[in-house]
Amino acid sequence: ATPRDAEIRKDVQTYYGQVLKKSADLQTNACVTAARPVPQHIREALQNVHEEVSLRYYGCGLVIPECLENCWILDLGSGSGRDCYALSQLVGEKGHVTGIDMTEGQVEVANNYIEYHMEKYGFQAPNVTFIHGYIEKLEEAGIKNESYDIVISNCVINLVPDKQQVLQEVYRVLKHGGELYFSDVYASLELPEEIRTHKVLWGECLGGALYWKDLFILAKKIGFCPPRLVTANFITVQNKDLKNVIGDCCFVSATFRLFKLPKTVPTKKCQVIYNGGITGHEKELIFDANFTFKKDEAVEVDEETASILKNSRFAQDFLIGPDGEKLPTCGGYTALEVKDVITDPFELAGRSDSAESRSSPAVGGCCSTKKCS
C-alpha cells in the first residue's frame, strides 16, 4: 500500500473502532439506507441476532440475496457480524459463512457470539467463521481460489482506496457461476481532492465513493458480466460543515449484482419461466431493477440475462427455453424492452423519489433529483 492508502486505512480503523460507538453516531444516512422491503424469513433471521451484534452494525441497508440454501458465502467488511449471523441461518448447517474485517474490535465482538448463535439455531457445529484481515488481500487471509458461491459487501468497498484490487480478489475467490452481491456508495462525478482527502467523509463512506460509471469499466476489465443494478437511494447529509465540503456532488447508496460466468459460447436471448421455488420469493423474484420474474409467467430475456440464469445457482429455479423458441405457459407473457433497461443508479434513485413523493411528504436529501440527473 502507498503511504496515502495506509493513512486512509488507519483513519477508517480509528473511525469504526473508536469514534463510532453506535449507528446513531453516523453523520449521514449512507450506512443505514433501507433498499427495499425485507422478506419475512429474513426479518425473522435478523431478529435472532444478538442485540450487541446488531447495535455495532454500520451496514448500508441490507445485502442478502436470494437462493441461499447450502451456499458458501463470504462477507467483505463483516463488522460485528450481523449479516453473517443472519446468513448462517439461511444457508443452513450444510452451508458456511465467512466474515472478514480489518477492525480488530469488530471481529472480537463477532467472535464472542458464535456459540450463542449456534446454540440458538440448534446447529451441531459452527457454520460461521470470522477473520481479521483486509478485503483487498483475501489471499493473505487464507481464502482460496474459487471457494465461494456468493460474496457480499455492505457499504465497505468505498472504504478501500484500491477498488480494482478488491474486485480482482473477489473474482478470484468466486466459483464459476458465482456472484458478488453488494451495496455501496457512488458519486455523481469524479470526486475532487477536498472530498477524497476528508477524514470524516472517508469514515462516512463518501470520501472514497467510486464514480458510478467507473464500476462498469472495472467490472469489464476484471472479467465480470456488466453490473446489474438492483436498488438505489439518495444519500442525505445532516452535518452542515460536511454539506459545504460536498458542494454539488451527489451520492447514492446502490446495490449491484456482478456475476462470474464460465467462458462459454454466448447465449441467445430466450424465454424463461420462474418456478417459484426460492424461499421468500414464491410468487415473484425481483432479480434487479429491470427484471421481475413472476411464478409461471414467461419472460423474454436478453443474451446476458439468459447466460446468468443458465450458469448460476438460479438455474434450478427456471425453465429456460431453447434459443429463439417460445415456452408454453399457463401464466402471462412479458416481452423484453431494451429501451427501458436502467443502469444509472441516480436515475433509479430519482424514480424512487418521485414515486415516494406522490404518496408521502418530501424528505430532504443531499441533492435534488434534477441536479443529479
Q: What is the pLDDT of residue 130?
A: 98
User: 270-345: which CATH topology?
Assistant: Ribosomal Protein L9; domain 1 (3.40.5)
- Cell numbers describing residue 43: 426479518
User: Which residues touch 58 (CB under 8 Å, ≥6 apart)?
Assistant: 16, 20, 23, 26, 31, 32, 79, 155
Q: What is the mean pLDDT of each run of 10 residues along the chain (373 residues)?
A: 58 52 49 64 94 80 91 96 96 98 92 97 97 97 98 91 96 98 94 89 87 97 97 88 91 95 79 96 96 95 93 96 68 57 94 63 33 42
Q: What is the pLDDT of residue 62?
A: 79
Exposed, middle or buried: residue 18 (CB in 10 Å: 0-12, 13-18, 19+)? Answer: exposed
Q: Are 99 and 81 in contact (CB under 8 A)?
A: yes
Distance CA(336)–CA(299), nearest Å, equals 7
Can you give the residue ranges of every domain in the chain? 10-260, 270-345
Distance CA(98)–CA(88), nearest Å, equals 9
User: Which residues touch 144 (CB under 8 Å, ≥6 apart)?
Assistant: 173
* Residue 109 DSSP class: H
User: Which residues touch 152 (CB under 8 Å, ≥6 apart)?
Assistant: 63, 64, 65, 73, 74, 75, 76, 83, 87, 180, 181, 182
CA nearest to 332, candidates 273, 281, 246: 273
Q: What is the pLDDT of residue 327?
A: 72
CA nearest to 273, candidates 331, 230, 325: 331
Q: What is the pLDDT of residue 139?
A: 97
Q: Are 166 and 143 in contact (CB under 8 A)?
A: no
The CATH number that domain 10-260 falls under is: 3.40.50.150
